[in-house]
Amino acid sequence: MLLRITLPDSSIKEYSAPVTPLKVAEDISPRLADAAIAAEVNGKLVDLNHEITEDSNLVLHTFTTETGKEIYWHSTSHLMAQAVKQLYPKVKVTIGPAIEQGFYYDFDRDEPFTEEELLKIEARMKELTAQNLPYTRKELSKQEAIDMFAAQNEDYKIELIQAIPDGDIISTYQQGDFIDLCRGPHLPHTGKIKAFKLLKTSGAYWRGDEKNKMLKRIYGISFPSNKELTAYLDMLEEAKKRDHRKLGKDLDLFSMDDEVGPGLVLWHPNGAMIRHLIEEYWKDMHLRHGYKFVYSPHVGRSNLWHTSGHLGFYNENMYAPMDIDGQEYYIKPMNCPFHIAIYKSAMHSYRELPMRLAELGTVYRYERSGVLHGLMRVRGFTQDDAHIICTAEQLPTEVENILTFSMDMLRHFGFENFQIYLSTKPEHPVGEDKDWEIATETLRKSLEKLGIDYAVDEGGGAFYGPKIDIKIKDALNRAWQCTTIQFDFNLPTRFNMEYIGADNQAHRPYMVHRAVLGSMERFFGTLLEYHAGNLPLWLCPVQVMVIPITDAQIEYAKELTTKLLAQGIRAESDMRSEKIGYKIREAELKKIPFMLIIGKNEVENDKVTLRRHTVGDLGSMELADAITKIKEEH
RNA sequence: GCCGAUGUAGCUCAAUGGUAGAGCAAUUGAUUUGUAAUCAAUAGGUUGGGGGUUCGACUCCCUUCAUCGGCUCCA
């Protein structure tokens, strides 16, 4: 029987049935067959030795595709589990998926895995790859699967199998003496895994639930060549250099102090200057987009938090109350109740809506000690918060405006790659289904109208409303949520918010929480990492360092500095009696964008020599030309 | 909070049970320099805190705090 197979390049070839993707790959080229990892037949992922028995579309995956990587890493995780089982037979295996970068496997074992043990496991893995053990698939019934893993005493696997709906195909993959429950597909054999490294260990709860037992997790990464592995490890090293915590120290931007307390940020003059510039831009943009600024206190009486409901659903993130004149006050974890109180201080007509109340509001939240992370997750932080109160008709325009406004602002800071999520109704929502539908559709339509790529996080919304989040990645590719646009069906009701409509009746407004940057702290952290500390000129605390070569040019340097300052350029001069090379080195290390080098020649000819950070000497020129060049970068 | 690692001078790091060191930074002096580190001197420490073992602890043990990597949650 003849089959027609459509190949990735859309050409069609005929084969006699059955044929495997591997044979097709070999037919195309030996190199492709060597690189191939798995195949997609009519849209379904299969092993390379899967038998094709009907006319099919075939896509071959190599390590270069996302799917290829996932399969490669997943096979490596099975390999690691095999090595662990051989070395430590009493350890129970649980789950071991591929993740965004690499893979992990969780084991039930009391002792932690030490670094020496990781090396031992790696060595065993190496031996197993040399044996070219094929990964073989076997399908079996639920009971057969349970019996098999019961015989091996792998209770976690049994728990997993029991959760699989009856009638679903249950498959296992076996390489050598190791068998694992797995949907597949997998590499043809272990010899395909050429280069790997076990990176770190950690604890992880069974099924991510802290009520469950804590397992021991091993993370690793693998590649089809040593070259790629080395490149990856180098990349990790490189990423460390742009860690915002390191940059914060090197550039003297911020610190945290044991005595002050964990998760509480001290902004040094340089960092504070950058923050000031961010805030200045932020305020300007908000005024241009019809926001009104408000200020609110840092504490509020317990009644407020009872009304808002925070004492119920947000209690574990709030700090203990303080007693003032026999009344309980709480430090604020959110700004919303205050903004609502401002709204409620008067009656409002539909003519006043939409009302956009904005504040750089500092909040304090209890975060568990283990989760604090530099500036990215702290206990005291300033949100660039705003609440938009509007009618149903105004919703689409408001949401679109927030989206374009947010992305414009993020782009102004140099960000270009965002991950955008639409999170929909969770399991126990408050509010009317109708409102959820309107709000979710509004969000979805806005995204689509603006042609924004997004992913849907089904059921990932807050209990009080659906939301859109924009995440930005840090140096290590970890995504951090910055922008968030959240509907709220809870607080307007709890606070009984109203406006008087054209019909002279009271109506409940819609309320949207939104933060563009998220928090000053987190945004600052991602900004630093994104630019590796080389901030855009408009954000640099010192834009120009004037460097006299000898003491003889000090007067001229002072003059130049004054002239630059008068032009609105942030300039300083380095008048220490150090050699020019030293002063340049220091300015370069501080990542100051421009240097004006002043020597005897410059003074005599009334010129300056300009140097650009990371670029080098730009030559001698009139001060006016230098200023033009500097301003061009703005 | 849980699992693990780490904590020595302002910073980066030495010192594996026997007198806590180096480089940079700081201070003082000399030097007046042409595009990424001039030289010298001085000062700087309850080795995160507390407790224990020991003749003797940075080193070993307990405890506590903090940081780092994860788990969970979120700006």
ipTM of predicted complex: 0.94
- Give dist(CA A373, CA A578) in Å, integer: 38
Question: Are A571 and A542 within 8 A, CB to CB?
Answer: yes
The pLDDT of residue A416: 85
Q: Token pair of A574, please?
A: 């380095």
A599 forms beta bridges with: none
Tell me how crowded residue A478 is: count the other CB atoms within 10 A of its CB: 14
Please state whether strand B lies within 7 Å of residue A381 at its CB atom: yes
Coil, strand or helix at A233: helix
Coil, strand or helix at A445: helix
> pLDDT under 50 in chain A at which residues?
none
Question: Are A87 and A198 within 8 A, CB to CB?
Answer: no
- Give dist(CA A368, CA A243) in Å, integer: 22
A180 forms beta bridges with: A173
Please state whether strand B lies within 7 Å of residue A260 at its CB atom: no
The pLDDT of residue A327: 95
User: Nearest 5°: phi and psi at A559?
Assistant: -60, -50
Q: Which nucleotide is nearest to A469 (CA to C1')?
A: B75
Which residues have CB under 8 Å from A23's CB, separation 6+? A15
* Sign of the torsion formed by the C-alpha atoms of A110, A115, A376 and A487: negative
Q: Which of A571, A590, A462 is nearest to A533 (CA)?
A: A590
Query: What is the bridge-based pairing of β-strands A322-324 and A327-331?
Result: antiparallel
How many CA atoms does the CB half-sphere of A171 hold within 13 Å?
A: 13
Q: Is A390 a catalytic residue?
A: no
For B68, which residue's CA is nearest its C1'? Answer: A373
Burial zone of A24 (CB within 10 Å; 0-12 exposed, 13-18 middle, 19+ buried): buried
Name A residues 497-526 whose Cβ lies under 7 Å from strand B: 515, 518-519, 521-522
Q: How far is the CA of A298 from the C1' of B25 (A)?
A: 39
| Tally: H helices and E strands in chain A | 20, 33
Q: Is A611 a catalytic residue?
A: no
Query: What is the bridge-based pairing of β-strands A455-457 and A419-423?
Result: parallel
Q: Which nucleotide is nearest to A517 (CA to C1')?
A: B75
- Give dist(CA A144, CA A148) in Å, integer: 6
Identity (one letter) of the amino acid at A609? Answer: T
Q: Token pair of A43, please?
A: 């849209």
Q: Which nucleotide is nearest to A602 (CA to C1')?
A: B34
Q: Which of A75, A307, A39, A97 is nearest to A193 (CA)?
A: A75
In chain A, the N- to C-terminal Cα span, in Å, equals 69
Please state whether strand B lies within 7 Å of residue A391 at its CB atom: no
Q: Is A61 a catalytic residue?
A: no
User: Nearest 5°: phi and psi at A100?
Assistant: -55, -40
Question: Are A480 and A473 within 8 A, CB to CB?
Answer: yes
pLDDT in tens, A197-237: 999 999 999 998 988 999 999 999 999 999 999 999 888 88
The pLDDT of residue A166: 82
